[in-house]
Amino acid sequence: MKRGMRKGLTSYGDEAFSLYLRRAFIKAMGYSDDALARPIIGITNTSSDYNACHGNVPKLIEAISRGVMLAGGLPMAFPTISIHESFAHPTSMFLRNLMAIDTEEMVRAQPMDAVVLIGGCDKTVPAQLMAAASANIPALMVVTGPMMTGFYQGERLGACTDCRRLWGMYRAGELSDEAIDEVTGRLAPTTGTCMVMGTASTMACMTEALGMMLPGGATIPAVHADRLRFAERSGERAVAMVEEDLKPSDIMTESGFQNALVTLQAIGGSTNALIHITAVARRLGIELSLDAFDDIGRKVPVLVDLKPSGDHYMEHLHEAGGLNAVLRELTPHLSLDAPTVSGATLGENIATGEIVAGQTVVRTPDAPIQGQGGLAVLRGNLAPRGALIKHSAATPELLTHTGRAVVFDSLADLAQRIDDPDLDVAPDDVLVLRNAGPKGAPGMPEAGYIPIPKKLATAGVKDMVRLSDARMSGTAFGTIVLHITPESYGGGPLSLVRTGDTITLDTPARTLTLNVSEEELEQRRSTWEPPPPHPGAERGYLKLYLDSVEQADRGCDFDFM
C-alpha cells in the first residue's frame, strides 16, 4: 500500500515524474526530506469568518498538529466548506451533502494516510462522517465544543433554546425592543456551538458513542484548555491509526450505530440527528429502521437533565463526567464490545472514564427525566413512511390531541399570514406547514418550529400541536411533528390536507391521522397539481440537489452516494 507523498499521485502518465513534481512543490513550503518521509495526517480546516461555532478551529489545528508531530507524523491542514446554521441560505441542510462531497474528494485527492476531521455547527459533523465513511481511510473526529452560557437580568441563558423562549416572549409583547436587543449580546458569549442539547451537541455525543471520537471529547467546552489537550491527543492517535490501518468501516458497524441511537434517545437529542445518522449509516450499506429506533425509545429513558428537555447546559454535563456518565448508566442497552478509534472497545472506554460523585445532571434509569426516550416515530395515513416528535420537549397534555387543521401552503404563506389579526385560528387547532421538505423548500429548513400566531401568543398561548415536512432545531421545544414522509412537494398525503379537516395526534399509540375518508383523499389526489418549479432549478447545485436528494427516512443524502 502506498503511503505519504506516494499516495494518490497526480495523473501525468509517469508516476516517477508525478512524485518528483510533488516533492518539488511541497519543498517550496520549506519541508525537509525527513518531514516528507513521515506518515501524513490531513486536518480539515473548517474555519470561517461566517462561523462563530468554529472560531477556535485555528487553535485546534495547532494542537492537533502538535500531537501529530509528537507522534512522528507530518500534519497537513487543508480547507473545506464550512457551514453555519444562521449564515446558510436557504438552509444549512441544503449544503450538508455538498460539504460531504467536498470533504470526501479532498481526502481522496490529496496525499494523506489519515485525517482528523474538525466539525461543530450542526451539519458539519454529519457531513464529515459521511465523507469519512465513503473515503474510508483512518479518520477520527474532533468537535469544536459547546460555548459557555451567558446571563441576562440574573438569569443564565444559552443559545438557542433560551433564544426561542425569549423571542416568543417578545412576540407576545412581554419583552421590549430594547430588551430583545440586549439579549442578543448575551445569548452567545463565547465561540463554540450551542450549549444546549441541540443538533451540534447531539451529534458530538453520538459520534463519541459511535466510536469515531476519542472518549471524553463530546462535551469539553470550546474555550477550555482541555479542548486543546484533547485535540493534541487526537492528532497523536491519528498517527497510530495509520500503522493499525484502523478505518471508519472498522468502527462504524451495526453495533456502533446501535450505540449511537441508544445515546440519542437517552440524551433527549435533536430530531435532526436521526436524519444525519441514517445518512452516515447508508454510506456504509447499513439500513437503520425507524421502527427499531422507536423500540429503543420505549426501553431507554431520558437521563440527561439538559435543555430543551431539562434545565441544565452542556458545561454542566461536562462537569458531571461528560458523555461517559450517561454511557455508564446505559450499559444494559449498549454493545460494549463495539470498537472505537481509541483502539479499545466502548466498554473499556466506559470503565476508565471519570466518575463524579454526587452529580445530578445525569440521572439513573430508576429516576429518569422521562420514562421513555426523547424521540418517538409516528405513522398513519398522514405519514406512511414515518414522522418524528420530540416528546421529551413537548407539552404532555398535547401529546394526545385532535384539532382542526389550519394550513399554510409554503414558507412564504406562513410568513404572510401567521401574524394576521384576522387569521381564523384557535388554541386547540393544529398548525400545518407544507412544501417545506427536502425538495419543497428546498433544503428542508428548520421551519417546523412554527411560531404561535401572534394574536394567540399575546393572549398567553405557549404551545400548540404543529406539524410539517420540515425540520426543527435541536434547541427547539414544543408539541411539534416533523419529517412527515413522503413530503408534500411530491404529492405526499400532507399535500391533501385542507383547513377545517381534523387531525389526531396520539403519541402513546405512535399514530398521526388525517380524519378524512380514503375516498375523499383519492378525489383530492386526482385534482392535485404540483407546486411551480423553484427559481434556478434548471442548473447548478440546485438542479443536482433536486434531482438526487432522498426523503427524510433515507437520510436526505443523494441517491447516487
301, amino acid identity: P
Residue 1 has pLDDT above 80, yes or no: no
| Mean pLDDT over the full length of the chain | 96
Q: What distance in Å separates the CA atoms of residue 552 and residue 145, rounded to the nearest whole number? A: 27
With 0.85 as the threshold, say if the pTM is over it: yes
As a whole number, mean pLDDT of residues 415-422 equals: 96
On whether the CB atoms of residues 271 and 483 are closer than 8 A, the answer is yes
Compute CA distances 151 → 162, 173, 221, 308, 456, whole Å: 11, 21, 17, 17, 29
Three state DSSP letters for 417-447: HCCCCCCCCCCCCEEEECCCCCCCCCCCCCC
pLDDT reported for residue 62? 98
Residue-wise pLDDT tens digits, 187-222: 999 999 999 999 999 999 999 999 999 999 999 999
Across 2-6, 158-162, 273-277, least confident range:
158-162
As a whole number, mean pLDDT of residues 75-86 equals: 97
Residue-wise pLDDT tens digits, 489-545: 999 999 999 999 999 999 999 999 999 999 999 999 999 999 999 999 999 999 999
Residue 64 has pLDDT above 80, yes or no: yes
Residue 174 has pLDDT above 90, yes or no: yes
On whether the CB atoms of residues 489 and 530 are closer than 8 A, the answer is yes
Specify the DSSP class assigned to residue 53: G
Strands (E), 125-258: 139-143, 150-152, 155-157
On whether the CB atoms of residues 424 and 489 are closer than 8 A, the answer is no
pLDDT reported for residue 163? 87
Across 15-24, 250-259, 429-438, least confident range:
15-24
Q: What distance in Å separates the CA atoms of residue 511 and residue 383, rounded to the nearest whole number? A: 9
Q: What distance in Å separates the CA atoms of residue 13 and residue 250, rounded to the nearest whole number? A: 34
As a whole number, mean pLDDT of residues 84-103 equals: 96
Q: What distance in Å separates the CA atoms of residue 291 and residue 254, rounded to the nearest whole number? A: 16
- Three-class SS of residue 491? coil
Residue 259 has φ and ψ, to the nearest 5°, of: -65, -40
C-alpha cell read off for 224: 477550555
As a whole number, mean pLDDT of residues 254-260 equals: 98
Highest mean pLDDT out of 182-186, 475-479, 556-560: 556-560
As a whole number, mean pLDDT of residues 256-260 equals: 98
On whether the CB atoms of residues 111 and 40 are closer than 8 A, the answer is yes
- Would you place residue 78 in the very low, low, confident or very high pLDDT band (cuts 50, 70, 90)? very high
Across 1-10, 234-243, 334-343, 477-486, least confident range:
1-10
413, amino acid identity: D
* Cα R_g (the chain), whole angstroms: 24
Residue indicated by cell numbers 439513573: 364
What string of DSSP letters covers 367-432? S-SBSS-S-EEEEETTEEEEEEE-GGGS-GGGSEEEEEEEEE-SHHHHHHHTT-TT----TTSEEE
- Would you place residue 158 in the very low, low, confident or very high pLDDT band (cuts 50, 70, 90)? confident
Residue 273 has pLDDT above 90, yes or no: yes
On whether the CB atoms of residues 482 and 275 are closer than 8 A, the answer is no
Question: Residue 308: is the preceding peptide bond cis (ω within 30°)?
Answer: yes
Residue-wise pLDDT tens digits, 218-248: 999 999 999 999 999 999 999 999 999 999 9
On whether the CB atoms of residues 408 and 418 are closer than 8 A, the answer is yes
Closest among 266, 247, 251, 248 to 334, alpha carbons compared: 266
CA 500 to chain CA centroid, nearest Å: 35
What string of DSSP letters covers 158-179? -TTHHHHHHHHHHHTTSS-HHH
Looking only at the bridges linking them, the beta strands covering 480-482 and 465-468 are parallel
- Would you place residue 102 in the very low, low, confident or very high pLDDT band (cuts 50, 70, 90)? very high
Residue 391 has pLDDT above 80, yes or no: yes
Quick one: angle between helices 272-283 and 199-210, nearest 10?
40
Q: What distance in Å separates the CA atoms of residue 219 and residue 208, rounded to the nearest whole number? A: 10
As a whole number, mean pLDDT of residues 127-139 equals: 98
- Would you place residue 164 in the very low, low, confident or very high pLDDT band (cuts 50, 70, 90)? confident
Q: Within 10 A of 324 (CB to CB), how many other CB atoms are there?
A: 22
Residue 378 has φ and ψ, to the nearest 5°, of: -110, 150
Residue-wise pLDDT tens digits, 428-447: 999 999 999 999 999 999 99
